[in-house]
Structure 1
């Protein structure tokens, strides 16, 4: 005896196929983009501040203070200092933290933090220049790869001396 029941053949219409494909594209795109977004996060070091300072005539030379915000500043943070109006910007000392000072030229120095600067802590960079000499110093901070500054961070500072007056920012 032979079974004569047959199941009806089922075919998918082109319209159903296109509709299914159209719905799958956004799902695939979102799934593919999610790992990239998750991998691109950087550590926010908060609102740190780099400020110029005139120093105190005869006691402290002019220079800069770097104060960490709510998070530590990482090892490898760089402060580039350039001077103008003078042939040599002097020797920079570091107090309140650990950093190396590299002489790039008579008018520029690169200071690199060799240890993290704790949250809320301040490190000073002072030059041997006297504020009784006319000069301008400018400094900029660069964070290592993988770190970003807070939206209110002050990443630049300046000192300007006019033989009589000194101003800092």
Structure 2
């Protein structure tokens, strides 16, 4: 399942992102139902689509934001030949259907007995929100009846998924489906894997986005970019489940202290309500002391005390982020860009 990244004491990997972008986020393993194995082989070639014994899920919302969908990500399937004869190399074609509003195909990879190879693919059809890629299996397919057998082929279809706010609402989801095509197949009834209709449940979505304006400070022979102003927007439509809070990381070799110079909520001053303090790890925690309703906007401005003659190797994490709950796996939490990474300090000899 795609999740919004949460910072730890070590911070995020360095990326400068100020708006939602297409990404493939970390996934959560889920059980995948697979067809029962055939008891015996048949004459000729009998290609068979089975599960990968692995999987992941994606979460998105209906356009009215009242329903949450949990869909199986189109990772691929296991290709078996349960017939008595070997399928020749190049005689098998696979087509994979997907929802083109969410997914962009990036790679097809085959794995047999631990040996892998990438194969080329083409987009062969586009029908509204449904697109289909096609590729040829370049290897021969010996007889195999078990997904754990030596000749079982794992067919990985890899897609980049865009389900980050504001691209996280869809109706009429096109469930993924794989189809095996072979002119010599003796049984075509087991050549389709999918489609997997997403589960659905009531939802109360909320989210927080963060953008920043920056300035550059000088300390001796070094310069460091800092967040001078941070804007936090509640994407809603529901309020944050707990008071909004966040953390800031700075280069302690160049900056001795950070403070909030001003804070506003929808233009009204709330500076005295914001708790901002350095924590035991040397970073700074802030809490707004209240939940944020959908559409609320908070603007925080910061002051920095620079260390005269400070030194640094430029590897320190410089980042600010916001969150609205301690439950990082809250399924109502919309995937937003809720952090801002700043580049490392630059020093001259």
Cα offset, 1:63, TM superposition = 3.6
| Matched residues, number | 118
Which of the pair has more CA radius of gyration? 1
1 or 2, which has the higher helix percentage?
A: 1
Alpha-carbon displacement from aligned partner over 1:103-135 (angstroms, at most 9, x marks no partner): 21594211112112232222122211289x999
- Is 1:144 matched up with 2:325? yes
1:26 maps to none
- Is 1:125 matched up with 2:286? no
Cα offset, 1:96, TM superposition = 1.7
Structure 2 stretches lacking a partner, 5+ long: 1-200, 218-226, 266-272
2:287 maps to 112
Quick one: which of 341, 344, 349 aligns to 1:158?
341
Structure-1-length-normalised TM-score: 0.52
The CA distance in 2 between the partners of 1:127 and 1:107, in whole Å, is 17
Cα separation, partners in 2 of 1:67 and 1:89, compared to 1, 3 Å: farther
The CA distance in 2 between the partners of 1:42 and 1:144, in whole Å, is 16
Cα separation, partners in 2 of 1:54 and 1:155, compared to 1, 3 Å: same
Asked if structure 2 preserves the Cα contact closer than 8 Å seen for 1:76 and 1:114, the reply is: yes
- Is 1:70 matched up with 2:231? no
Cα offset, 1:80, TM superposition = 0.9
Asked if structure 1 preserves the Cα contact closer than 8 Å seen for 2:243 and 2:292, the reply is: no
Structure 1 stretches lacking a partner, 5+ long: 1-39, 164-169
The list of structure 1 runs, each at least 4 consecutive aligned residues, that deviate by more than 6 angstroms after superposition, is 133-136
1:44 maps to 205
Asked if structure 1 preserves the Cα contact closer than 8 Å seen for 2:211 and 2:232, the reply is: yes
Cα offset, 1:73, TM superposition = 3.0
- Is 1:88 matched up with 2:219? no
1:53 maps to 213
The CA distance in 1 between the partners of 2:274 and 2:241, in whole Å, is 11
1 or 2, which has the higher strand percentage?
A: 2
Structure-2-length-normalised TM-score: 0.28
The CA distance in 2 between the partners of 1:104 and 1:42, in whole Å, is 35
Cα separation, partners in 2 of 1:100 and 1:161, compared to 1, 3 Å: same
Cα offset, 1:79, TM superposition = 0.6
Alpha-carbon displacement from aligned partner over 1:42-95 (angstroms, at most 9, x marks no partner): 74313x3111212699xxx71422111133334433211110152324212441
Cα separation, partners in 2 of 1:125 and 1:76, compared to 1, 3 Å: same
Asked if structure 1 preserves the Cα contact closer than 8 Å seen for 2:244 and 2:290, the reply is: no
Cα offset, 1:159, TM superposition = 3.8
Bigger mean CA offset, 137-146 vs 110-119: 137-146
The CA distance in 1 between the partners of 2:344 and 2:228, in whole Å, is 9
